[in-house]
Amino acid sequence: MNDAEITARGHAILRRAEDDALAGTALKDIDAWVRSGAPPSAADLRAQGFSGDGVAEMLRDARQAFVRHWGFSLPCREAGMALRGFGPILEVGAGTGFWTAMMRAAGHDMIATDLGTGLSPYGFSVSRHAEVEQLGAVDAVRKYPDRDLFCSWPSENEPWAADAVGELRPGRNLALILDDRGTITGDDNLRRILADRYRALEIIEIPRFPGLHDRLRLFERRAA
């Protein structure tokens, strides 16, 4: 067996394990949600264990599988409706692009960008659910200045999200999925920019894995 065959077999084994981990949860149907652009309501998912309550060990395997194949944040109907209230959207740090894929399926104009290689730390190809343009966040905002901005779970203590948010034009809207605990998402500079240059619009309570505290937060860039 050559290296390519070994890698392919390992990828298949990992994907079967991921499917098994998600099969016993409400997330077993996420492929259909993304293809249709119609995820369940936050209340429905919270009722099935995705309220953020409980210990982090609960649904641990399901979360690991979800992060590898989809991303860090859980979608819901309310989040999709909030994003549809924006104009054309640019997603930065899009990862697998599943938020963009879901929003496009719902008929919204959204572009996904990410500087990532498309490989997992183990060398496996990561599934991409939408075309993801290989651009850093700041370059993406500069390339698409007439779009509102979306980012889910910006990297912990890395500057790129703050830099991108700082580039957004006055009058444009911003949607961020952030965890409330310190700098688990983004960094202190991102929070300073949000406080100094943005007007908070709304907080959307999205479903969450146990032990997490992430929310969708909507902002408008104030005039300079």
pLDDT one-digit tens code per residue, 78-127: 999 999 999 999 999 999 999 999 999 999 999 999 997 554 444 445 67
| Domain regions of the chain by residue span | 3-221
Element (H, E) at 13: helix 3-23
Question: What's domain 3-221's architecture?
Answer: 3-Layer(aba) Sandwich (3.40)
CA distance 15 to 81: 31
Query: The pTM is what?
Result: 0.90
Task: Report the 3 state secondary structure along 52-67.
Answer: CCCCCCCCHHHHHHHH
| Residue 27 pLDDT greater than 80, yes or no | yes
